[in-house]
């Protein structure tokens, strides 16, 4: 053992092998590696698969190409009709150009989040409360278009923006509940009035038929007696025609 010596060549080979092993990087199918060689960006990102990163000459930045779901925190918004609400949203985006996502912006995740918050306040602040509640699809499309255009220089594609929740003040919720109740009462009264109008028209048509056919009154009278008898009433009222009373009064006067 005392006479054992290690060859410098062997040491060099071992060091070289260890260096090559440490230089091996494995990128998944959804990942790309943006490599800076001596501080200069290489033309094409690397991956997926096995790549070699020769440190300290090279520096690699891993970028995921999967769709990222970004939760926008609740924002205090004053709508166009001066209603204060809290609105939160969710943004779906992905990196389509990994080189620009690294070079053009310091932190594309943070930058996209801040841009989504300011855009949400700006766009929804120009809409009225009714539009915010009823025209949500149109506002989502408008938000998506603005974010996509503004993040395009960063190599980011915004695929969708969805407004998740609109938190209304308690007094506004009570006012909207009263408004909805008044709307229901209005529709009920309109339907009742329309029913009365249709019924009166049908009664007028029936009166016209009875007036043209004197026997129709007798048939109607007999039908009424049949309905009263079915209820087993002990008292039956016989109506006298007004014409008969007028005829009898005329004879008394003469």
> Could you check whether the bond before residue 56 is cis, i.e. omega within 30 degrees of 0?
yes
- Whether 105 and 111 have beta carbons less than 8 Å apart is answered as yes
Q: Which token pair is 63?
A: 């970028």
Domain 68-168 in CATH 3.40.50.300? The answer is no
Q: What are the tens digits of pLDDT across the range 174-191?
A: 777 777 778 888 888 899
Q: What pTM value is reported for the model?
A: 0.66
- Between the two ends of the chain, the Cα-to-Cα distance in Å is 161
**CA-to-CA dists, residue 143 to 51, 119, 121, angstroms:** 39, 7, 10
Alpha-carbon dihedral 113, 114, 118, 124, rounded to 10 degrees? 10
| Domain coordinates in residue numbering, the chain | 12-63, 68-168, 174-248
Give the three-state DSSP class for 51. strand
Q: What are the tens digits of pLDDT across the range 215-254?
A: 776 777 777 777 777 666 666 666 666 666 666 666 666 5
**Element containing residue 242 per DSSP (H, E):** helix 242-253
Q: Which token pair is 42?
A: 């290489």
Q: Which residues pair with 156 in a beta bridge?
A: 95
């Amino acid at each position: 053992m005392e006479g054992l010596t290690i060859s410098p060549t062997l040491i060099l080979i071992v060091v070289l092998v260890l260096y090559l092993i440490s230089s091996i990087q494995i990128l998944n199918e959804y990942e790309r590696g943006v490599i800076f060689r001596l501080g200069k960006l290489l033309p094409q990102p690397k991956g997926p698969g096995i790549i070699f990163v020769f440190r300290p000459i090279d520096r690699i930045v891993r970028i995921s190409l999967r769709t990222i779901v970004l939760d926008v925190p609740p924002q205090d918004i004053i709508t166009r009709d001066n209603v204060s609400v809290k609105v939160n949203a969710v943004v779906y985006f992905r990196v389509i150009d990994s080189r620009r996502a690294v070079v053009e912006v310091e932190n594309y995740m943070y930058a996209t989040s801040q841009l989504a918050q300011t855009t949400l306040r700006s766009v929804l602040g120009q809409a009225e409360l009714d539009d915010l509640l009823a025209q949500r699809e149109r506002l989502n499309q408008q938000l998506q278009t603005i974010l996509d255009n503004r993040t395009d220089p960063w190599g980011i594609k915004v695929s969708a923006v969805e407004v998740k929740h609109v938190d209304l003040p308690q007094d506004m919720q009570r006012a909207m509940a009263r408004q909805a109740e008044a709307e229901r009462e209005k529709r009920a009264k309109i339907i009742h009035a329309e029913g009365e109008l249709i019924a009166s028209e049908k009664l007028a048509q029936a009166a016209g038929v009875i007036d043209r056919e004197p026997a129709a009154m007798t048939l109607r009278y007999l039908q009424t007696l049949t309905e009263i008898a079915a209820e087993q009433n002990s008292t039956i009222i016989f109506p006298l025609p007004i014409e008969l009373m007028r005829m009898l009064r005329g004879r008394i006067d003469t």
